[in-house]
Amino acid sequence: MNTADIESLVAPVAAAHALEVDRIEVLTAGKRSVVRIFLDGDGPAGRGPSLDEIAQATRAISVAFDGVDITKGRPYTLEVSSRGVTRPLTEERHFRRNTGRLVAVNTAGEQLTGRVVAVDSEAVDLDVDGAVRRVPLAGITRAVVQIELNRTLEDQVEEG
Question: Same structural domain for residues 9 and 47?
Answer: yes
Task: Identify the domain boundary among 42, 57, 82.
Answer: 82
Domain total of the chain: 2
Q: Which of 62-66, 81-85, 91-95 is the least confident region? A: 81-85
Domain carrying residue 7: 3-82
Q: What is the pLDDT of residues 9-43, one digit of tens each?
A: 999 999 999 999 999 999 988 889 999 999 999 98
Mean pLDDT of 71-91: 90
Closest CA to 43 of 28, 26, 55, 29: 55
Q: How far is residue 106's CA from residue 7's CA, in Å, rounded to a whole number?
A: 31
Residue 67: pLDDT above 80? Answer: yes
- Give strand pairing partners of 123: 136
Q: What is the pLDDT of residues 95-126, one digit of tens each?
A: 999 999 999 999 998 999 999 999 999 999 99
Q: How far is residue 28's CA from residue 31's CA, in Å, rounded to a whole number?
A: 7
What is the Cβ-side half-sphere exposure of residue 128, based on CA atoms within 13 angstroms?
14
- Answer whether residue 87 is part of any domain: no
Geometric angle at alpha carbon 10, from 50 and 78, rounded to 5°: 75
